[in-house]
Each structure stands twice: as C-alpha cells, then as structure tokens.
Structure 1
Amino acid sequence: MFRPEFKRTPLTSGFGMLELIFHAAVRHVRKQHHNAVVGLLMSIVQSVLMVVIMVFMFDLLGLRGAALRGDFVLYIMSGVFNFATHSKTLTAVSKSDGPTSAMMKHSPMNTIVAIASAALGALYLQTLSAAVILFFYHALWTPIVIYDPVPVIGIYLLSWASGIGVGMIFKAATPWQPEFFSIATSIYARANMIFSGKMFLANTIPAGRLHFYTWNPLFHSIDQTRGYMFQNYHPHNSSIEYTIWVTFILIIIGLMGENFTRKYASLSWNAGR
C-alpha cells in the first residue's frame, strides 16, 4: 500500500518473478529444518546411507563383479544421485502449496512460483549433497575420473526435470481425490526403486523383460549417465531423446491440469472427508 508505484515492463516483471521464486525456494529449504546446516547434513546422510546399503547388498549377493569396469562406488552413485533427485523433486512438487494454501493470499504468490521454488529447493539440496559426497570420496578414498562430465550434469538435470513433470501430474490430480493420489505417489516412488534401473545395467536386462523398464524416463536417464560417466560402457537399451520428449509432455500436461484444478479448487472440498 505504501510502496511507490512505477510502470512495470516485461523485463522488470520477469526479474520480479525470479526474485520471488528465489525467496520462495529459500523458504522451502528452510521449512524442512530450521537450521539450514542440519537440513543439508540430513540430506547428505540419506544419500550416503543409500550408497552404503547398495554396496553392501552387491557384496552380500556376490553381484559386484557383474557391474561395469570402472569405479564400483561411482557406478552406485550414478544411480543413487539421479534417483534421489528425481524422487525428492517429485515429492516436493506434488506437495507444494496449492491454490487454497494460505500463501496464495499474498498478492505476488501463485502456484507456478510454488512449484518452481519447490523444485529449485530440492535441486539445491540434492546437488549440494552429491557434491559434498563426491568431494570427500575423491579426497579420502580414491580420485574420481568421469569420462565426459558435461553430459553427465545435463542428464542429471534432466532427471530433475522429469521429477518436476511427474510431480506436476500428481499435484494437479491430488485435490480431486487426495487419498488415492497420495497412495499413488508413494507407489510410484517405491516402484522406482526397482524400475529405475539404478541397481543394474540396462545392457544386461533380457529382451523379454526390457519392456518392464523402458517406460520409465528415469531408467533411460540413469543408463545414459553411466554411458557418459564410464568409458567402457555403451548404452544400447536406452535413449536420451525418449526422456526429453516424455519430460516435455509431462510438464505440458501438468501445467494444463494444474490450471484446470486451480479454477475449481475450493477449501470446502475436504469438508466432508
């Protein structure tokens, strides 16, 4: 009310939106834990536990020799980091503030900002966690050698983007039937433990079972990551173009669904539940 009025151009509006997304992303990160350092440590511990458990499982089952030639722990990390980023982003986006949230009472705020900030917050935590883990592994255990690091980073971001697309689908559908789609989100996240292919190589999957995995864009992302990360591995059963197109389609459908839901969402929907 007491803010001076000035003519807003598309450029200033765009920068204003980016600033709002930044502050909302900071709020989203701080919301998970009041102490930012503790929140980061919790994210690091979760990723480390996933890596340790998978290494222990491979050793226990005698499957370590079935992995590709190269650093075995780095091979495990290539799957864990893509999987964790996809899953955490999916959960953050699907549970971001909706049209009936109290945050939407503030004039500049809208659901697109809420989705973008939730996605950026998840990316920040997972990327920082991965960087810290890789640094300490490189410094304390063995030097890390990545064959082609730039495409590895690009596909990592693609795993994040596919998490946004799937999360937006669940976010748009959840207000219509919260109980069902809450369970469906959990089922999808649990199914990705197997169908993401993070525990094995796509080239070793028999042709008769390949169709159980090729529907999943994360499966293609993880396999292509390993192709660029290790010089001796060449993916034959995955395609990066598939992940790009599926991610694009999911985000478009999610935006359409979110726009439709926003028009009809009401606080009274949950009154009878």
Structure 2
Amino acid sequence: MFRSQRRATAIGSGFALLELIFHSAVRSIRRSHGNAVVGLLLNLAQTILMVVIFYLIFEMVGLRGAAIRGNYLLFMMSGIFMYMTHVKAIGAVLKADGPTSAMMKHAPMNTVVSISAAALGALYIQVLSVTVVLYFYHVVIEPITIDQPVGAMGMLLLSWITGVAIGMVFRAARPWQPTAVGLVSSIYMRANMIASGKMFVANAVPGFVLQFFDWNPLFHTIDQGRGFIFLNYFPHHSSIGYPVAVMLACLMIGLMGEFYTRMHASMSWGAGR
C-alpha cells in the first residue's frame, strides 16, 4: 500500500509489451522440446527429409527437366522452405494459449501476446533452419547464388504472415466447432503439399491447370520468391498483391472473430463435447 505508482508512458508500455512477447516466444520455442538444439535439429531433419522425398519423386517421375534453369535443389528447397514456414505458422497460431489457459491468469498476459509469441517462435525456428540448410549446402555440396536475397526473404516473410492470418481465422472459429475446424485446417495444410505449386514452374503450366492453384496465396509467394531467387525466371501468373490482400482480409476477420470468441470463452466450453 506504500509502494509508489508510476504512470506508464506509451513508449514504456510498448517496450514492456515487446519484452513480454519476447519471453513468451522463448517459452513457446522451448515448449516443443526442452533442449533448444534438439528442437532445431528435429526441424532440420524434417526439412531435409522433405527435400529428399521430393527429389526422389522428381527423379522417378522424370520431372527434373521441368524445373527452372539453374540449381535444381535450390528450386525444390525454395518451395519447401516457404511451404513449411506457412504451415508451421498456422499450426503455431492454432496451438497458442487461449483465453481459458492457465497463463492468462497472470495480469500482463493476454491472447494477443500468446499468439504473437507463438507466431514469432515459429518464424525464428524456420529462418534458423533455412539459414543452416542453405549454409551447409553452399559449403559442403556446391556454391549457390540468390539473385535478389532481400526479395526472396520478403516472400518467405509473406508466406509466414499469410499463414498467421489464415491461422487466426481457424483459431477464432475452432471453439465453436472444434472437430469441423480441426478437420478443415488439417485438410488445408495437407492439401498445400500439392496446391502450393512448389513442385512445378507456374510459367510452364497451361492456363486451365493454373486455375486450380491461383486461389492459394502460398502459390503466389512461392512463384514470386523463385523470381527473386533465379536470375532467368520472371513470374507471369502470380502477384505479390494477391497474398497481401488475402493476408489483410484474413487478419481482420481473425482478429474480430478472436475478440468475439474471447468475450464468450468459458472453462467449461468443451465439457459437453
């Protein structure tokens, strides 16, 4: 009762919020595995395994000649990196602490902090994995050159933020229909193995086939990312504006839905299910 109360300024409150998000992000990263190094190695193993699987598929089906002129493995890795960043962001947002979590009993904590921390933790792990894989490939196997690394990194971040926005929509709807929304989100993430278009070059695909892929914002970020990565590739059937528009729309819908859901949250919500 004798403690002096300071008035928090806007800048001080902002830094306090960023500090809280940072510590929550560290907690979300350590949640997947107690040892941070082992957690990174598991993510690296998952990425490398996917690259090997798609390499074998391309070799057996004979699609290697359909890749972009340039480094063949870099073509595959570019799609796989953005795909994994996208789906990991969706999964992280869905698994973030909700309004009925025990962490929400602590006064500074709220769902915005938990979602932001989970999303940033997923981004950290993916960026670190991409850096390690590309470094060892460049040093051990053969040197690689990325034409516009800043633009390529921008498309990786756009893949991440679109995953966060879509995950927000799933998250807001899940408490109302957990089984249906869980099934739809799982189908979406599994379907992106094909629907993301990471296995082919968009410029070389007929128009009647592209209509099955151009609805997907991840298809656009992967194709645009390859335009930044490879010197001789210029995307003609994708745009940066479309995933940005989808991201903004889903983010607004997800935030409004999350606010409405949080207002009706209850510890006994799923007791009857």
TM-score, with length taken from structure 1: 0.98
Match of residue 220 from structure 2: 220
Count how many residue pairs are aligned between Structure 1 and Structure 2: 273
- 1:3 offset after TM fit, Å? 7.5
- 1:222 offset after TM fit, Å? 0.1
- Is 1:8 aligned with 2:8? yes
- Is 1:152 aligned with 2:166? no
Match of residue 258 from structure 2: 258
- Aligned to 2:208, the other structure's residue is in SS state coil
- Aligned to 1:267, the other structure's residue is in SS state coil
User: What amino acid does structure 1 have at the position aligned with 2:214?
Assistant: T
- 1:259 offset after TM fit, Å? 0.4
- 1:5 offset after TM fit, Å? 3.0
- 1:61 offset after TM fit, Å? 1.0
User: What amino acid does structure 2 have at the position aligned with 1:19?
Assistant: E
Match of residue 132 from structure 1: 132
User: What amino acid does structure 1 have at the position aligned with 2:229?
Assistant: M
- Aligned to 2:207, the other structure's residue is in SS state coil
In angstroms, what is the RMSD of aligned CA positions? 1.2
User: What amino acid does structure 2 have at the position aligned with 1:180?
Assistant: A
Match of residue 37 from structure 1: 37
User: What amino acid does structure 2 have at the position aligned with 1:245?
Assistant: A
Closer, same or farther in 2 for the Cα pair 1:8/1:209, shift >3 Å? Answer: same
- Aligned to 1:150, the other structure's residue is in SS state helix
Alignment of 1:21-36 (within 5 A): 21-36=21-36
- 1:235 offset after TM fit, Å? 0.6
User: What amino acid does structure 1 have at the position aligned with 2:249?
Assistant: I
- 1:245 offset after TM fit, Å? 1.1
How far apart are the structure 1 equivalents of 2:151 and 2:101?
A: 38
Moved over 2 A (4+): 1-5
How far apart are the structure 2 equivalents of 1:94 and 1:4?
A: 40
Match of residue 59 from structure 1: 59
User: What amino acid does structure 1 have at the position aligned with 2:222?
Assistant: I
User: What amino acid does structure 1 have at the position aligned with 2:10?
Assistant: P
How far apart are the structure 2 equivalents of 1:2 and 1:115?
A: 36
Alignment of 1:230-245 (within 5 A): 230-245=230-245
Match of residue 165 from structure 1: 165
Measured against aligned partners, the alpha-carbon deviations of 1:40-97 in whole angstroms (never above 9, x if no partner) come to 0000000001111111110111111111100000000100000000000100001211
- 1:226 offset after TM fit, Å? 0.4
Match of residue 269 from structure 1: 269
How far apart are the structure 2 equivalents of 1:62 and 1:252?
A: 43
How far apart are the structure 2 equivalents of 1:38 and 1:80?
A: 21
How far apart are the structure 1 equivalents of 2:122 and 2:98?
A: 17
- 1:194 offset after TM fit, Å? 0.6
How far apart are the structure 1 equivalents of 2:146 and 2:33?
A: 33
User: What amino acid does structure 2 have at the position aligned with 1:226?
Assistant: R
Match of residue 107 from structure 2: 107
Match of residue 186 from structure 2: 186
- 1:4 offset after TM fit, Å? 5.8
Match of residue 87 from structure 2: 87
Closer, same or farther in 2 for the Cα pair 1:80/1:3, shift >3 Å? Answer: farther
- 1:33 offset after TM fit, Å? 0.2
Match of residue 20 from structure 1: 20
- 1:220 offset after TM fit, Å? 0.1
Closer, same or farther in 2 for the Cα pair 1:260/1:63, shift >3 Å? Answer: same
- Aligned to 1:209, the other structure's residue is in SS state helix
User: What amino acid does structure 2 have at the position aligned with 1:6?
Assistant: R
Match of residue 98 from structure 2: 98
Match of residue 247 from structure 1: 247
User: What amino acid does structure 1 have at the position aligned with 2:250?
Assistant: L
User: What amino acid does structure 2 have at the position aligned with 1:132?
Assistant: V
How far apart are the structure 1 equivalents of 2:55 and 2:232?
A: 21
- 1:138 offset after TM fit, Å? 0.2
How far apart are the structure 2 equivalents of 1:4 and 1:211?
A: 64
How far apart are the structure 2 equivalents of 1:30 and 1:269?
A: 28
How far apart are the structure 2 equivalents of 1:228 and 1:148?
A: 5
- 1:209 offset after TM fit, Å? 2.0
Closer, same or farther in 2 for the Cα pair 1:4/1:156, shift >3 Å? Answer: farther
How far apart are the structure 2 equivalents of 1:186 and 1:11?
A: 40
- 1:2 offset after TM fit, Å? 9.6
- Aligned to 1:265, the other structure's residue is in SS state coil
